[in-house]
Each structure stands twice: as C-alpha cells, then as structure tokens.
Amino acid sequence: MPDQLKICFLDSFTLSPGDLDLSSLNELGKVQLCDRTNPTDIIARAKDAQVLITNKCTITSDIISRLPNLKLIQVAATGYNNIDLEAAKNYGITVCNVSGYSTESVGQHVFAMLLSYINQVHVYNKESKNGYWSDELDFSYWHNAIPALNEMTFGIIGYGKIGKGVARIASAFDMKVIVSHKYEATSDDENISFHNQDHVFEYSDVLSLHAPLNASTDKFINTSNIRKMRSNAIIINTGRGGLINENDLSKALFSRKIKAALLDVLSTEPPPKDNVLLKTPNCFITPHQAWANQNARKKLLNGIINNISNFLSDSPTNVVS
C-alpha cells in the first residue's frame, strides 16, 4: 500500500448533506469527496483509488475489473447488495460494511410513523388551526376511535439488530410482540415470543419488516401472504423496497384487504412519479430517512473510519466479501 492512501467517496452527500464534518477521513489518506456519481463516471473518478467508499452506487464486475489499484470497497451502509461480491473476491478486493449504527434511528422512525397514523396528530393540528375545533360544541372531538397500542399485536419479520431494537420499543408500549426469524432466537422479555412466518402474518395488527433483501425475501409481501393478514393490519417497511410487491400491495389497499401501509422505502428510489403506491389510499410514504438521524450518521462515519483503519493494520473488520 502506498504511503499516501487514495480514497474516493462516490456519494458523500448521502452521509452528510452539509451537517457533518467529514474532515476526519483526511487522517487516513488523500480523500476525494464526490457528492454524487453517475454510473458512467465511477471508473474515471476512482481509477487511482485504493479505497472506494459508496452508499448506493452499484459496483459491478466490469467496474471492479477496471480499477487495478483497488484494495478495499467500504460500503457506507449495512446493506451491500449493490456490490458484486463474487467479482471482488476474484480480484482480491475486501468488502466491508457498517452495521448497528441506525438501530435507534430506525426504531424511532417506525414508531413515529405508527403513532402519526394512529393518532393523526398532523390532521387534528391542521383542523384545529383551520377553526374546526373552535366550531365544536364539545371540548374534545375525533373522527374515529383511537386504537390503544397496548391492546395491539406487533409482528416483526427479521430479528437482527434493528428488529431487536424495534421489538424493545414495542414491548415498552406493552404491546404483544410476535417475531419470525430465519434462525432460532430467544428473549427474556415476556412480551416477545417467536413463531413461524405464517403465524406472524395471521395474528399481527402491525407488521414491521426487518428482513434483508435476498432471493427468499424478494417481493414476499405479495397477494398470497397479504391474504393471510387481518383486515385491520398495518404494514410498516423501513427495510428495503424490494421486500414488497408494490402492485399487489396497492390492490390490497384499494380493496381494503388490509388497513394501511407505512413505507420509508420503495423498489426504485427516488420513485418515478407513476409509482402505483404514490396514489394508493391509506399508503403513507417517507423518503428513505429512517436510518438517517444525525447521530446515526455520526456512528456510520466512525464505523467507516474504523474499518479502513483496521484494514490498513491488516486486521479488517465487518468483512462481508
């Protein structure tokens, strides 16, 4: 490795749109920060880099083969399905990710969406300011009954770090938590129990998705599985948009097979304006921000720096290749 390590961050705007200081990366070597990078510009920008940092840029086999100096691909995220791991392995390139940085941030967003939907705070705020409350005969009013979280069953599919964090919050609301996980899992929390996936689909009032996107989970929220769910069920997805068949979900919401969907991710991001879910009733969407509170992004930056430092010390961490 040369004395002056060359690092190229292809999409640094994802980590800091201006509110974080990324100068600590300079302690590792000569850093090229690119706010965003088009696929056609990746090779030109990274041609001399030994370390490539990317959040969402897709690093294909062709790109890897044309970067002869590359030694490390550092994913500025937990998910790494945008990296051709087989090609990286064939070219002797290490791939690392950062995990656990967004657990609290995602859990916060899951319940921000759920509470916003259930309590309709934004609706009643607008109505109060527009004089609706002033015109009422009674001191209090609401449109529909407000559900009690502690009487609801909260289902979770995927019990990694984020799934566990969300389960803890649900339990703190005294919700009954039922979990489906690929591997055997246990909990000392009496509110949390483990079941097969069909059980979780059938008995959840709220279903939160925290499984990784892979061949077995791709579009597994589809007509077949939605049919197993309660008509009052609410789906929350802060994981990957590809977990959901968006056409099937839209049809289910239009026909009221389920009650609502609260989504922070879609299959294509940013979504095309004709994405079917953008005009689907009872589908509430935020723009992939669950992971991104400032504290989480600080943890992510520290994780990136630690991984690169450990790689340079011949003791790589968080290796996924």
The answer to whether residues 46 and 10 touch, using CB atoms and an 8 Å cutoff, is yes
**Residue ranges per domain, the chain?**
6-101+294-312, 103-285
Class (C level, CATH) for 103-285:
alpha beta
Report the CATH number of the 6-101+294-312 domain: 3.40.50.720
Is 127 an annotated catalytic residue? no
Q: Say yes or no: do domains 6-101+294-312 and 103-285 share a fold.
A: yes
The partner residues of 294 in beta bridges, in order of sequence, read none
Exposure b/e, 85-105, CB count within 10 A at least 16 = b: eebbeeeebbbbbbebbbbbb
Is 269 an annotated catalytic residue? yes
User: Rounded to the nearest 5 degrees, what angle is found at the Cα of 106, between the Cα atoms of 315 and 241?
Assistant: 95
Q: Which residue blocks in 140-257 are alpha helix, DSSP H?
A: 161-172, 197-203, 223-226, 246-254
The partner residues of 246 in beta bridges, in order of sequence, read none
Give me the catalytic one of 109, 181, 288, 297: 288
Is 45 an annotated catalytic residue? no
The 10 Å Cβ neighbour count of residue 270 is 9
Give me the catalytic one of 86, 136, 151, 269: 269
Give me the catalytic one of 109, 181, 210, 240: 240
pLDDT in tens, the chain (321 residues): 556 899 999 999 999 999 999 999 999 999 999 999 999 999 999 999 999 999 999 999 999 999 999 999 999 998 898 999 999 999 999 999 999 999 999 999 999 999 999 999 999 999 999 999 999 999 999 998 999 999 999 999 999 999 999 999 999 999 999 999 999 999 999 999 999 999 999 999 999 999 988 899 999 999 999 999 999 999 999 999 999 999 999 999 999 999 999 999 999 999 999 999 999 999 999 999 999 999 999 999 999 999 999 999 999 999 998
